[in-house]
């Protein structure tokens, strides 16, 4: 890692030339290309467990420096057939569920806009389950080194294969927006180092209502996810190898975790005027497990001073049920950071997280068997860019 650190810093400083050389693909504007990425480093003082960005990552950043969590490169190609019809394909390479950086198709849809107030899309769509969720991998779009892990890190899906429809309606000088969506999906999340859950999502459907007035944007949303969940790893193998019981690991673990049906309720508020930026979000995910639920949320305040935007964030996630166990999560994080806009398409970020983990659940990796949480400090450096 000592050799990697200067290389990473050098890449952060030299990426300007790469961004500046991006050019349109055609003169008529029908075929377009854009991209985004993050070069990131994480330093953790926690020697008993590994820090992760989200629950799809099989390994985390343990004590010392790591470039695993946040490095990302994405590209997007669009083609406009007519003024009403276009197509978009987006691919991302990041450290994800397969434990490598194999590129994945995150968006691939046809979009039809018969008039400015109606939009229909079909194909692979980002999971727009609450504010900023479908753009959480585009680091340049937000002030933080990464979206608050206590809130965004527990999301189960990255995309849906299906369709959505969006309606916009002016209300005086304000704007009312309604989006409805439905589809299927699949994903893999890591519960502990030797147990993972594979989601074969039969149906995911929901919608949200946005109301925009002046610098304010409010959202309320509801989503349901119905899945067949399979479990793999040594824990699942041991359950099925118990003599004389002939247990099915998927059935036993499915009853424990209750991931086959998840309902999500979300509220969010964004404020952006002049130098002040405020984000406030809350989500409740209810599962079929012992009246289980996961409550998460955060408050973020930033203030732009020329090119620099210092910010503070307080976030929290907590699970509850009628039958608590060691998979429960109870964690809060206080973050202090700053974003420096180097150019119009590049931002350098530094962030310090102080994390109080009272019950780690599946938000940490490689944890020692006797680790039950405690205080951790995580320092992050990142360079986000678009081209």
Query: Are the C-beta atoms of residues 57 and 364 closer than 8 Å to each other?
Result: no
pLDDT at res. 2: 46
CA gap 38, 380 in Å, rounded:
12
pLDDT at res. 260: 86
pLDDT at res. 24: 66
Phi, psi of 76, rounded to the nearest 5 degrees: -135, 130
Query: Are the C-beta atoms of residues 86 and 30 closer than 8 Å to each other?
Result: no
b/e map 80-113, b = 16+ CB within 10 Å: beeeeebebbbbbbbbbbeeeeeebebbbbebeb
According to DSSP, the β-strands at 216-232 and 64-66 are unpaired
CA gap 87, 80 in Å, rounded:
7
CA gap 234, 330 in Å, rounded:
25
CB atoms closer than 10 angstroms to residue 28: 7
pLDDT at res. 236: 84
Query: Are the C-beta atoms of residues 209 and 178 closer than 8 Å to each other?
Result: yes
pLDDT at res. 234: 84
pLDDT at res. 290: 62
Residues 6+ apart with CB under 8 A from 306: none
The closest alpha carbon to 57, from 4, 97, 86, 14, belongs to 97
State the alpha helices, DSSP H only, in 40-196. 149-152
Q: Which residues of the chain have pLDDT under 50?
A: 1-22
Q: What angle do CA 59, 291, 361 make, to 5 degrees?
A: 20
Length of the chain: 387
Residues 6+ apart with CB under 8 A from 118: 165, 166, 167, 168
Q: pLDDT tens for residues 187-242?
A: 998 887 678 889 899 999 999 999 999 999 999 999 999 999 889 888 888 888 88
**CA count, 13 A, side-chain hemisphere, 266:** 29
The domains of the chain, with CATH numbers, are 114-386 (2.40.160.10)
CA gap 345, 123 in Å, rounded:
29
How remote is the C-alpha of 111 from its chain's centroid? 23
CA gap 329, 325 in Å, rounded:
10
The closest alpha carbon to 299, from 331, 269, 264, belongs to 269
CA gap 62, 97 in Å, rounded:
18
Q: pLDDT tens for residues 67-81?
A: 999 999 999 999 999
Backbone CA torsion sign across 164, 165, 171, 173: positive
CA gap 40, 341 in Å, rounded:
16
Which residue has tokens 């109301």?
211
pLDDT at res. 7: 43
**What are 217's two structure tokens?**
């944007």
- List the end-to-end C-alpha distance of the chain, in Å, as a whole number: 29
pLDDT at res. 195: 86
């Amino acid at each position: 890692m000592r050799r990697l650190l200067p290389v990473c810093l050098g890449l952060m400083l030299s990426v300007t030339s790469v961004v500046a050389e991006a050019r349109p693909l055609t003169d008529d504007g029908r075929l377009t290309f854009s991209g985004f990425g993050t070069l990131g480093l994480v330093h953790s003082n926690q020697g008993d467990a590994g820090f992760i960005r989200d629950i799809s990552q099989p390994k985390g950043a343990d004590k010392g420096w790591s470039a695993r969590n946040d490095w990302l490169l994405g590209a997007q190609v669009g083609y406009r057939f007519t003024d009403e019809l276009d197509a978009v394909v987006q691919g991302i390479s990041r450290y994800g569920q397969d434990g490598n950086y194999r590129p994945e198709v995150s968006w691939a849809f046809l979009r039809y806009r018969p008039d400015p107030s109606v939009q229909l899309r079909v194909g692979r769509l980002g999971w727009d389950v609450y504010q900023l969720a479908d753009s959480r991998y585009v680091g340049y779009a937000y002030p933080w080194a990464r979206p608050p892990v206590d809130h965004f890190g527990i999301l189960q899906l990255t995309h849906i294969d299906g369709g959505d429809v969006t309606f916009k309606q002016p209300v005086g000088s304000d704007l009312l927006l309604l989006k409805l969506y439905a589809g299927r999906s699949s994903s893999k999340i890591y519960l502990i180092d030797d147990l993972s859950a594979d989601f074969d999502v039969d149906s995911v459907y929901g919608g949200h209502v946005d109301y925009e007035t002046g610098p304010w944007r409010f959202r309320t949303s509801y989503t349901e996810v119905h899945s067949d969940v399979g479990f793999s790893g040594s824990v699942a193998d041991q359950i099925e190898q118990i003599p004389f019981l002939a247990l099915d690991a998927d059935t036993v673990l499915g009853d424990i975790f209750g991931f086959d049906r998840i309902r999500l309720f979300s509220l969010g508020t964004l404020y952006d005027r002049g130098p002040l930026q405020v984000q406030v979000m809350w989500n409740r995910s209810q599962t079929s497990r012992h009246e289980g639920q996961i409550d998460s949320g955060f408050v973020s305040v930033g203030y732009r001073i020329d090119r620099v935007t210092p910010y503070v964030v307080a976030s929290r996630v907590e699970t509850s049920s009628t039958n608590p166990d060691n998979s429960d999560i109870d964690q809060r994080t206080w973050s202090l950071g700053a974003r420096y806009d180097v150019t119009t398409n590049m931002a350098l970020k530094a962030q310090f997280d102080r994390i109080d983990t009272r019950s780690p659940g599946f938000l940490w990796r490689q944890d020692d068997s006797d680790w039950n949480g405690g205080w951790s400090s995580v320092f992050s450096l990142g360079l986000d860019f678009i081209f």
